[in-house]
Amino acid sequence: MTARQYRADAEGGEEQNMNRFDCCLFDLDGTLTESAPGIVRSVEYALWKLGAAIPGEAELRDFVGPPLSASFARYCCLSPEEIGRAVEFFRERYAVTGIYENALYPGVKELLMACWERGVRLAVASSKPEEHVRTVLSYFDIAAYFDVICGSPIERERDGKVRFSDKEEIVRLALRSLEEKTGRPEVLSRAAMIGDRSFDMLGAAANGLFPVGVLYGYGSREELEEAGAEYIAEDAEALRRLILGEGPDAAGTEARI
């Protein structure tokens, strides 16, 4: 049976579906891609142009994942007007150079391919502006694996209106889009949200999804556990085993889905 035939059978219910999840939403930065170099350098550039103090290394790495405007407010104590200018300066560098200072985490492409072949519906739910999300996914040739790609409107980030809590809204939009695209609301009954930071886990909880954290990104085990992660993966292979219901990594999750 070819991969395409397997997927068609799985979607049609003709093949016994042993997947632990029927639907998975992924964060982007720190979950699919190692994007810190381009983001950190672009934040430094923006603050340099603004004439503002540049935070330490730990704070700069915390810019990866959360909404950019929220991070400028949290770590740099900028006014709303300054945040808007900082975001514009960030985009000057990031859109041309920083977005490509990036890499897929080991095993991610194989993970996505395995899920696609088994009929798992996939989506991206990211706080990054959607046009940048699509650019990154296309650059790494993985966009085709996703039924739905959701990010934040870039206009909201320019205006400094993107908040940490907006991840819940983005996850909700991704789920609604998946339901509309598939025409099969039942695929959302066994769904997971996968990410590396606390707001990914909180976004999962707010939308009734199984929260899965990853340790290879930019959050810590403590952060993920405190935010309610039900499972924490060391690498992409552990995620594959969990999602597809293979091996001991999947044991014990069924009762909590």
Helix (H, G, I), strand (E, B) or coil at 214: strand
Measured CA to CA, the distance from residue 193 to residue 8 in angstroms comes to: 24
66: nearest Cα among 155, 166, 141, 158:
166
Helix (H, G, I), strand (E, B) or coil at 24: strand
Measured CA to CA, the distance from residue 31 to residue 146 in angstroms comes to: 15
> And the tokens for 165?
């809590």
Q: State the catalytic residue, choosing from 9, 22, 27, 200.
A: 27
64: nearest Cα among 96, 45, 83, 42:
42
Measured CA to CA, the distance from residue 238 to residue 117 in angstroms comes to: 17
> And the tokens for 131?
């046009």
Measured CA to CA, the distance from residue 87 to residue 64 in angstroms comes to: 14
Q: Is 27 a catalytic residue?
A: yes
Q: Give the orientation angle of helix 80-94 with respect to helix 36-50, to 10 degrees.
A: 130
- What residues act catalytically? 27
